[in-house]
Amino acid sequence: MTNKHYESIAEDFNKVWRFSDEYKIWAVDKIGYYLDLKNSDVFVDIGGGTGTFTNMIDNKFELKKSYCVEPESKMCKLAKEYSNFEIICSDVFGFLDNLQFAYNKILFKEVIHHIKDRKKLWHNIYHTIEDNGRILIYTRPRNNKFPLFQKAKKEFYKNQPLYSEMVLELEKSKFKTSVSLESFTFKLPKDEWYSMLKSRFMSDLSVFTDDEIIQGIDELEKENTSNQFIIEDEIVFITAYK
């Protein structure tokens, strides 16, 4: 389901996420802070999609080397348009199993919920990342604060791992951890938010038919009579240190 979802939205992925430049800059700054990015770092962006963030992060922190690891071929093709980082068209396990270089910083931005065997993941990273390396998981709490209709909230909750569980798993795999929750709040005209829902901007929305999305939008219309949404995007930053 996930691969099909990203294949179907690949060409529109950058349009589907209508968040502002300010949002992207905020996210990149936070990633730099939690990963303590320095220009001596070899950085890996797992599930980097079309490379938007890999590009921004590499440019901002002038990294020694950056890699975008992405399994969906249409996404990889789009990411290949950037010349400042390398694209590895693979899922995370294919990447770690065939590793040809040393790396010390690794990011999972909005992708950890797609990776089922996390025990194996933490083990493989622990045995491949350099000493003093860091992992950053950028994800959302199960009860996110997006204006979603009830069925979508339930679907998101079902698919999203509990972040406290991931912290315990990482600690069991010998990493030290720290967790922070931070929010970026912004306003979006209702039409834009509805159009994001219709484009199924989150993979959790891909299970709904067009009719169900329309019903969901009707539900939101009843709850909000203004012409915009004030959206609080609450992000969980889990940093793991080797």
Ligand X SMILES: C[S@@+](CC[C@H](N)C(=O)[O-])C[C@H]1O[C@@H](n2cnc3c(N)ncnc32)[C@H](O)[C@@H]1O
* Shortest reach from residue 175's CB to ligand X, in Å: 19
Near ligand X by CB under 6 A: residue from 46, 76, 87, 235: 46
Residue 226 burial by CB count (10 A; 0-12/13-18/19+): exposed, middle or buried? exposed
Q: What is d(CA 184, CA 25) in angstroms, rounded to the nearest whole number?
A: 11
**Nearer CB in complex with ligand X: 79/211:** 79
Near ligand X by CB under 6 A: residue from 70, 155, 169, 204: 70
Strands in 113-221 per DSSP E: 134-139, 176-189
For 83-114, b/e burial (b = at least 16 CB within 10 A) is: eebbbbbbbbeebbeeeeeebbbbbbbbbbbb
Q: Is 114 in the site for ligand X (CB under 6 A)?
A: yes
Distance CA(207)–CA(225), nearest Å, equals: 27
Judged by CB under 6 A, the stretch of 45-53, 122-130, 141-149, 177-185 that binds ligand X is: 45-53
Among 34, 63, 71, 146, binds ligand X (CB under 6 A): 71
Q: Is 137 in the site for ligand X (CB under 6 A)?
A: no
In 10 A of CB 19, how many CB atoms? Answer: 16
In three-state secondary structure terms, 209 is coil
Under the binding rule (CB under 6 A), the answer on residue 115 touching ligand X is yes
Closest CA to 241 of 182, 138, 170: 170
Q: Is 139 helix (H, G, I), strand (E, B) or coil?
A: strand
Residue placing its CB nearer to ligand X in the complex, 153 or 214: 153
Nearer residue to ligand X within complex by CB, 32 or 48:
48
Nearest approach, Cβ of 218 to ligand X (angstroms)? Answer: 26
Applying CB under 6 A, the site for ligand X has a residue count of 20
Is 169 one of the binding residues for ligand X (CB under 6 A)? no
232 close to 183: Cβ distance less than 8 angstroms: yes
Give residue number: closest CB to ligand X: 47
Scan residues 79-108 and list those touching ligand X (CB under 6 A). 91-92
- List interacting residues with ligand X (CB under 6 A): 2, 6, 46-49, 52-53, 69-72, 75, 91-92, 109-111, 114-115
